[in-house]
């Protein structure tokens, strides 16, 4: 096995060991450039991840939260996981420098956050 392939295999194994079944789907999301960092002129940031189902989820890395149903169920209600694949994809894309960047106005960011609140309520 070539050295680089062996190195990648070891990293993948470690990610799967630490993060469980979320690791590979999260890497797929990063590979598909599904993570976008939205930032406003005031410095507020939020991440949006296009999930494998085609739905857009909002993630807050500063407080470790995602709007997907899996986060609400597996992380918050059942405490079965530390994070969902979307949050892990955000962290991995940050570490790999693979995050899309989009600057939005304060009004646009507020609209995105309010739309998420309405979807949840």
Q: Residues 30, 34, 40, 42: is their CA dihedral positive or negative?
A: negative
Q: At what angle do helices 3-19 and 23-31 cross, to 10 degrees?
A: 120
**Contact yes or no for 51/86 (Cβ under 8 A):** yes
11-15, 50-54, 99-103: the lowest-pLDDT one = 11-15
Instruction: State the pLDDT at residue 40.
Output: 95
The pLDDT mean for the chain works out to 86
pTM: 0.84
Instruction: Name the token pair of 70.
Output: 């899996």
Q: What does the pLDDT look like over 61-102, one tens digit per residue?
A: 888 899 999 999 988 888 888 889 999 999 999 999 999 999
pLDDT of residue 14: 82
């Amino acid at each position: 096995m070539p050295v680089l392939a062996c190195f990648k295999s070891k990293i993948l194994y470690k990610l799967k060991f630490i993060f469980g079944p979320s690791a590979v789907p999260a890497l797929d999301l990063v590979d598909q450039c599904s993570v976008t960092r939205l930032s406003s002129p005031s410095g507020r940031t939020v991440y949006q991840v296009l999930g494998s189902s085609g739905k857009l989820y909002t993630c807050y890395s500063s407080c470790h939260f995602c709007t997907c149903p899996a986060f609400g169920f597996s992380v918050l209600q059942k405490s079965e996981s530390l994070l969902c694949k979307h949050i892990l994809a955000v962290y991995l894309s940050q570490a790999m420098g693979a995050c899309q960047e989009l600057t939005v106005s304060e009004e646009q960011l507020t609209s995105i956050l309010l739309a998420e609140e309405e979807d949840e309520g």
